[in-house]
Chains A and B, each alone.
Chain A
């Protein structure tokens, strides 16, 4: 995701926060197996 955004032309792309979005769901095991989490991203377009 980060590389793709940078290649598109966005700058200062970074992940800001992580979330256990699937905690307590029936997909919690799959999420743990593949390391799936929610995350906040920010990316800027040069001005």
Chain B
């Protein structure tokens, strides 16, 4: 999908729809949605280790709705600083926290209150104090420039109507020598204008 937002798409309406849908996922992960959720899906289709996921609090794993696996690429640095854009209920953040260790830092960024609540409870239950969660828009990160070793994300950046702003912000916060390793949706065909303006297709 093009990074340029369709002319007629209401950006605030799109953000509101995304927030609404993911609040519903947080409140009822077993509900009727058009996309997979949960640790069993993550293991079956995305290559996560189910044993590792089952060791995490269910409050964090049940609403997981990622589309790939950021942990398949380079190992996260022990003691490093990692941020997760669109952290949801925190499953990937908890996995990242275990990898960076107590000397590291993981910051989950999300705009949905219900997801943030689950994520904070999950981190406490998992006893991973190095993971914290902040409410923010991914185009305005509450982080100083050049402080992040690795940015992860899973199926979120595609939901942003202004992706270039997101990329610019990620470039700002990543340290020289740092990296992005994230999962997202790719589209194999050029979308029609009608398809680009269809919020239902954006939100799944």
Contact indicator per residue, chain A 10-34, by CB within 8 Å of chain B (1) or not (0): 1000011111111111110010011
Chain A binding surface SS class? mixed
Question: B75 at interface (Cβ–Cβ under 8 A)?
Answer: no
User: Are B46 and A38 within 8 A (Cβ)?
Assistant: yes
Q: A4-B167, A21-B67, A47-B177 are in contact. Are A40 and B73 (CB under 8 A)?
A: yes
CA distance A15 to B203 in the complex (A): 23
CA distance A44 to B182 in the complex (A): 12
User: Are B168 and A8 within 8 A (Cβ)?
Assistant: yes
User: Are B185 and A44 within 8 A (Cβ)?
Assistant: no
Chain B residues numbered 41-80 whose CB sits less than 8 Å from any CB in chain A: 45-47, 66-70, 72-74
User: Are B176 and A46 within 8 A (Cβ)?
Assistant: yes
User: Are A9 and B3 within 8 A (Cβ)?
Assistant: no
Chain B residues numbered 14-49 whose CB sits less than 8 Å from any CB in chain A: 34-36, 45-47
User: Are B171 and A38 within 8 A (Cβ)?
Assistant: no
CA distance A1 to B185 in the complex (A): 10
Question: B103 at interface (Cβ–Cβ under 8 A)?
Answer: no
Q: Which residues of B contact A (CB under 8 A)?
A: 3, 34-36, 45-47, 66-70, 72-74, 155, 157, 163-164, 167-168, 170-171, 174-189, 191, 195, 201, 204
**Sample of 10 more A-B contacts, CB < 8 Å, known A4-B3, A8-B167, A45-B171:** A1-B186, A8-B170, A17-B47, A38-B183, A40-B68, A41-B180, A42-B179, A42-B180, A47-B175, A47-B176
